């Protein structure tokens, strides 16, 4: 049970990426789950760190409205989602397999660190990413913009990865 709670706290969903693009499931970290918790959020009560519930949510007063989200930000969000997908799948599998609490915590910390790096490599802070994801999950218009762009990117990848038919060579 504790594993499931931590898994959901990290925002790790077991759904497939194409399902997000098709609109069959909410975008990752929907319904208020935080995608990348602060280290305090996953700290154990004996670690001496302040639990995340003791501090107000940084998203309590969003600085961005859905209408202000640019196409470039949607593109960043889509790139992040695509990069996070394999990381989340791998971490989810590892978390399901481990019975060792220490190993479990290591997987969680490592995944959080890697996810934060992915977000920052795409030019966003973790806070900006969280805000964009919250907006995308709460606003149907923005949600649709992200889904459409995600589908376009996936279709483009699929088309470029499909085998090309052999070109017949002319016979003299």
CB atoms within 10 A of CB 124: 19
* Environment class of 87 (CB within 10 Å of its CB; exposed 0-12, middle 13-18, buried 19+): middle
If DSSP codes are grouped into helix, strand and coil, which group holds residue 56? coil
- Among the listed residues 60, 42, 59, 62, the one whose alpha carbon sits nearest the alpha carbon of residue 50: 42
What are the domain boundaries of the chain? 67-159
Q: pLDDT tens digits, residue range 77-134?
A: 999 999 999 999 999 999 999 999 999 999 999 999 999 999 999 999 999 999 999 9
pLDDT score at 163:
76
pLDDT digits (tens, 9 = 90+) for 32-52: 333 433 333 333 333 333 333
Q: Which residues contact 89 (CB under 8 A, 6 or more apart)?
A: none
pTM attached to this predicted model? 0.65
The per-residue pLDDT for range 149-167, each reduced to its tens digit, is 999 999 998 999 887 666 6
Instruction: At 27, list the tokens.
Output: 């975008």
| Distance in angstroms between the alpha carbons of the first and the last residue of the chain | 71
- Taking the CA atoms of residue 120, residue 124, residue 127 and residue 132 in that order, the dihedral angle to the nearest 10 degrees is -130
């Amino acid at each position: 049970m504790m594993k499931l709670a931590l898994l959901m706290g990290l925002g790790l969903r077991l759904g497939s990426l194409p399902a997000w693009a098709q609109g069959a499931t909410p975008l990752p970290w929907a319904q208020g789950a935080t995608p990348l918790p602060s280290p305090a959020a996953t700290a154990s009560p004996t670690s001496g760190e302040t639990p995340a519930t003791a501090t107000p949510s940084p998203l309590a007063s969003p600085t961005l409205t859905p209408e202000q989200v640019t196409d470039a930000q949607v593109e960043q969000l889509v790139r992040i989602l695509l990069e996070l997908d394999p990381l989340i799948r791998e971490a989810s599998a590892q978390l399901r397999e481990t019975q060792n609490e220490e190993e479990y915590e290591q997987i969680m910390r490592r995944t959080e660190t890697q996810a934060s790096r992915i977000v920052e490599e795409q030019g966003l802070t973790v806070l900006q990413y969280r805000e964009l994801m919250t907006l995308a999950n709460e606003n149907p218009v923005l949600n649709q913009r992200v889904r459409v762009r995600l589908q376009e990117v996936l279709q483009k990848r699929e088309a470029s990865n499909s085998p090309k038919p052999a070109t017949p060579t002319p016979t003299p």
